[in-house]
Chains A and B, each alone.
Chain A
Amino acid sequence: MLPFLLIALLSAVAQLFLPWWSIALVTFGVCFWRSKTGWRAFGAGFLGIAVVWFVYALLIHLQTDGILTGRMAELFLKTKTPVFLLLITPLLGGLTGGLAGLAGRQVRAVFRAKPE
């Protein structure tokens, strides 16, 4: 639970100042510092980013009456339903975060004598 919360919090702050790919650095760092298994590292990284991206995107979508979300959904997915964009966005961020989390865990493992 802690890595997930940390990732969500730190990545949100980082993205206010740094490019989007800072999410990979954050999840890598957190999972390097602390994660139990590869699966859990991936999960924490994925969810930590995906939840933040989802909540922020949803907030923007609702605040703006979905004017742009509708147009972008039409542009990319040829559908007027913005729901898919609200799913793809966190999926993509989550994937980036999850893979970086997994990498953090695996790199850490190299430096350890025995797995925990």
Chain B
Amino acid sequence: MKVFKALLSLFISIGVTVALNQPWGSVPALGRLLSPFEGFWQNAETVGQSSEQTISVKGAKEEVTILFDDLHVPHIFAKNDYDAYFAQGYATARDRLWQMEFQTHAAAGRISELIGDRAVELDRYNRRLGMAYGAEKSLEGMSNDPVSKSVLDAYTTGINAYINQLKPADYPIEYKLLGYAPEPWTPIKVAFLLKQMTQTLAAGADDLMMTNIRQQLGPALTANLFPDYPFKEDPIIPVGTRWDFEPVKLPNPPPNTETDSSVALNWQSHDPGIGSNNWAVGPEKTATGYPILANDPHLTLSLPSIWYQVQLVTPTMNVYGVSLPGAPGVIIGFNKDVAWGVTNVGADVLDFYRIRFRDNQRQEYWHDGKWKPVRRRVETIRVKGKPAVIDTVLYTHHGPVVYLPEDKPFRNNIPTGYAARWIAHEVDNGVKTFYLLNRAKTYDDYVTALSYYVAPAQNFVFANAAKDIAISPNGRFPLKWRDQGKFLLDGTRAANDWQGWIPAAQNPRVKNPPRGFVSSANQSSTDPTYPYYINWEFETTDRGMRINQRLTAMQNVTVDSLRHLQNDVYNHQASKFLPVLLPYIQEKDLSDPQKQALKTVRQWNYQQDTASVAGTIFMDWISRLEAGIWADDFPDNANRPLRYPNTDRTLQLVTEEPTSRWFDNVQTPNRQETIQEVVTSSFRATVDSLVKQHGPLGKTWAWAGHKGTSVRHLIPGLDAFSALNVQIGGGRGIVNAAGRRAGPSWRMIVQTGPNVRAYGVFPGGQSGNPGSPYYLNMLETWRKGDLYELLYLKSITEKSPRIQSTLQLTR
């Protein structure tokens, strides 16, 4: 009996302890997680603690001092460049280790290792796309350059110096929740991070949908509805700018560019919420007589924050700005002489080539009159708790065959049986661009730095204390015949291949234009006089036009007036559409609530602010109107994806072609619908749906609540670590582009001059730890449209009351 009792109690005790020490499905190991000695409690950080800390770490060459200011921004003072990047790696890992590793795992197709087989298709997709292949090429490019290699090595060593001193109790909380441990950092992870940026910003493609449309409508109507230059445009390089170069010869298009897309599916299209604004105002228009530069990149708003502020000081540089956790150097920032910023270009740098294999063995494919060998690359996807998945990807000279005809693609938009030719597969050395920009003194330094840049192509805006301003849509652009890659391409014909590159020196660029400012908001890079083809479609020009109108009107520009412009919520699109649409509404067909809503819209001043009701109605209405016009002509079909003409073309249609056939609903053969009917019925549906959603017209319809901007943690569904329903105005197509999930991920304004002053904010905080007071501390300032002055220390001896703690790294 005693023995039985002893064994039973022992069994229960061990059973309970073991059970609490391991995860159950998505429930983490509770004993470990709740233990105050090693669980989540250990991640709680004390508020307002000032401290002096000296840590000896392996890898630093000399002593490095890191001063942390009141926003927890590290100011790194190193005696040599190597140590600066070493310390940047160390400090970034200290605040963002989980994020930097998770993002590179995602890019590398390694999420299944963390969460099991539900991520296998996602991982397979990233690998089939050639993310790993591209990262290896990038690493090759960076390793061949001694400067970039040294920067990568220093940064990597710094991250590992931090990882090596961690005990499990110190791991960031996400490791504890998901139940894994950090692995050593390697230089290729930097390449993966940059690939992920390229995937976010330069992997959108409509080639397949456009091909389906061309098959349905023929080339002439397709060109009419999907034109190569917008109806309304104000391009980045001002109209009238002269191209002071002798262009290289353009390749000739093949006589027949038709392709068959019978088996095709399609590709992720670009998220219109992802874009950016930047501008620089020249000395003649500013109050101080020195240029002012502003930038706000719009990305999917996520936590830990996308950006990490840092100041790097060595004998060769003193730069401040934001970095991407996982990549060395400053991406957007300033030094005492220059400031720079970026927005996305949206170049067509991803094309699909239909592959003709010799037979089912798929050992050879037909190209340029010859059978050429197919290379095979084996991808091993490790899966948590399951055997690894082995995937063989076929490579042609174009690139990887993303999905074979018999595969079911992960995304509904990927053409099967096509190879992807993508800029991300090129050898590149992007780290060098930022290395040089961080140290730039003159306009020429900026031009030199840009020549190293490959992808994702960016509009690099520039200003300096020598009173220059400039902008350049810049990246490595393939040399193409016009519209090459607007549609799917036949991969057997050499004439369809990319034919080299636009020379870097001939990328569009403008310096000190007569209008006294430069700007970009993802619209067309140039007007049609630019001799080369970059893309046929860019973001709608609304933000760009609004910015240019405001900057044209402004005089004595200050940091504060530009801050107001960054937070401008004027709905330019509505100001173009509503005067045209409202007269078409047939009031006699409206119910009382619909009439009331119409009155609200008529009285609107186009301010898409938090309380705007008319703004809510317009945003909903415009998408219903587009569906009302186009859905019958371009029906949703999973096997044959199509898309609508863009909003600019729709504006042209309602403005200039009110009797067009497109207003007729082809699915009602006995009736001929008119523009009046489409406009009215879409308006009625909008109001009815909003009443259903929010009750009778009133405060509940307010824009900010309806939109529900949220800044979400990278782990889906982790609401407790997210900021939900942030009350902010603006949205898609508006200068303050705070949308539902995407928006200004960093706002910066730099006043250049003898004493540079800069201001910035991002929606989150410097720390990636949800248990830190610096996790979300900047959100409210961002929401209100305010900025913090950025503490730019000239030297380590400069005293500032904002310095709160010191960290010394010694050898």
Chain A residues within 8 Å of B, Cβ to Cβ? 15-16, 19-21, 24, 28, 38, 53, 56-57, 60-61, 63-65, 67-69, 71-72, 74-75, 85, 88-89, 92-93, 95-96, 99-100, 102-103, 105-107, 109-110
Contacts and interface: CB of A to CB of B under 8 A. Distances in A.
B47 A103 contact: no
A93 B770 contact: no
Interface string B758-784: 000000000000111101000000000
Contacts of B3: 110
Given A20-B37, A68-B44, A107-B6, 11 more contacts: A20-B35, A60-B36, A60-B42, A65-B773, A67-B770, A67-B771, A68-B771, A72-B720, A96-B13, A99-B9, A109-B6
Given A60-B36, A89-B34, A99-B13, A75 B41 contact: no
A34 to B, nearest CB: 17
A64 B44 contact: yes
A111 to B, nearest CB: 9
B2 A24 contact: no
B805 to A, nearest CB: 16
User: For the side of the interface on B, what is the size category?
Assistant: 35 or more
A10 B6 CA distance: 24
A11 B807 CA distance: 33
28 contacts: A19-B38, A20-B32, A21-B17, A21-B20, A53-B35, A61-B41, A63-B44, A64-B46, A64-B771, A67-B47, A67-B773, A68-B41, A72-B40, A74-B720, A75-B718, A75-B720, A89-B34, A89-B36, A96-B13, A99-B17, A100-B13, A102-B9, A102-B13, A103-B9, A106-B9, A106-B10, A109-B2, A110-B6
Task: Tell me which of B31, B47, B173 has the highest count of chain A C-beta atoms within 10 A of its own C-beta.
Answer: B31
A106 B7 CA distance: 8
B45 interface: yes
Nearest to A15: B37
Contacts of A102: 9, 13
A96 B2 CA distance: 22
A103 B41 CA distance: 29
B357 interface: no
Contact of A68 (B2, B17, B43): B43
Contact of B36 (A57, A65, A71, A103): A57
Given A106-B10, A109-B5, A74 B31 contact: no
Interface in B583-610: none
B19 to A, nearest CB: 10
A47 B780 CA distance: 43
B21 interface: yes
Given A21-B17, A99-B12, A67 B35 contact: no
A24 B42 CA distance: 21
Task: Tell me which of B14, B30, B720 has the highest count of chain A C-beta atoms within 10 A of its own C-beta.
Answer: B720
A62 to B, nearest CB: 10
Nearest to A24: B17
Contacts of A106: 2, 5-6, 8-10
A43 to B, nearest CB: 14
B32 A64 contact: no
B16 interface: yes
B721 interface: yes
B39 interface: yes
B63 interface: no
A8 B32 CA distance: 18
Contacts of B14: 24, 103
Nearest to B43: A68
B30 to A, nearest CB: 6
Contact of B770 (A38, A68, A88): A68
Contact of A96 (B5, B31, B38, B721): B31
A19 B32 contact: yes
A24 B771 contact: no
B34 A60 contact: no
Given A75-B720, A89-B34, A92-B31, A103 B43 contact: no
B39 A20 contact: yes
A102 B8 CA distance: 10
A16 B37 contact: yes
B41 A60 contact: yes
Contacts of B46: 63-64
A67 B44 contact: yes
Given A61-B44, A64-B45, A71-B771, A56 B13 contact: no
B719 interface: yes
A63 B49 CA distance: 10
A65 B718 CA distance: 21
A103 B7 CA distance: 8
Contacts of A56: 36-37, 41
Contacts of B45: 64, 67-68
